A and B are shown apart, each in its own frame.
Chain A
């Protein structure tokens, strides 16, 4: 059974801080890892990672995958209060189509 573990489960920082969110996984036939941001609605897509060592970047957010050690990190620099959300990590198994297995999420709170 595929498994995704995120840490920390909860994080409180001040505006301007840099945060690193972790996601480790166990997948029998790994295809991709995805990061989502969820506020009080459905998740919105951030990144999809398939290859090791290639950083994906979007503004203050970046993410990288290590397929040897089976983990990914999501970095947010110069955090803002609008970054407060639950960040979800999910994996896709090659043999199960596009089905996602999610981690529990990291609740990030950015205080002014």
Chain B
């Protein structure tokens, strides 16, 4: 399977701070990056889709000014949770996709806890 890394794996922050999560695709060029969020005991929900070099497309109900996505290169995408609140506490998972890639693989995820 594809090699995908995410950093940090776990972060605890105070309410009102911003948190940046990095996702790296280590062995293929990720032309598309999917960002998912998973609350406890729930399934994965797609937050946004970004294509390298262009603006992200956000799912309904996901605030684009709160969840900033940058996909400036084919190996790196970042998700910044701005002014985080306790309700943003969740498991954030990236999933890079190549141009002709069928199967989706996931990064190891980042657990965010906002106090």
Binding site for B on A (CB under 8 A): 32, 34, 41-45, 48, 88, 90, 97-105
Contact = CB atoms under 8 A, between A and B. Distances in A.
Contact of B109 (A41, A88, A102): A41
Interface stretch (B11-19, B41-49, B65-73, B75-83): B41-49
Given A34-B103, A34-B104, A45-B1, A99 B109 contact: no
B46 A100 contact: yes
Interface string B88-108: 000001010100011111111
B106 A43 contact: yes
A104 B43 CA distance: 5
Contacts of A48: 102-103
Contacts of B34: 98-100
Given A34-B104, A42-B107, 15 more contacts: A34-B103, A41-B108, A41-B109, A42-B93, A43-B93, A44-B106, A45-B105, A48-B103, A88-B43, A98-B102, A99-B34, A100-B95, A100-B104, A102-B43, A102-B45
B95 to A, nearest CB: 8
Interface in B6-33: 32
B44 A102 contact: yes
Nearest to B94: A42
**Most chain A CB atoms below 10 A, which of B34, B42, B44, B109:** B44
14 contacts: A42-B108, A43-B44, A43-B106, A45-B103, A88-B44, A97-B97, A98-B32, A98-B34, A98-B101, A98-B104, A100-B44, A100-B46, A102-B43, A104-B43
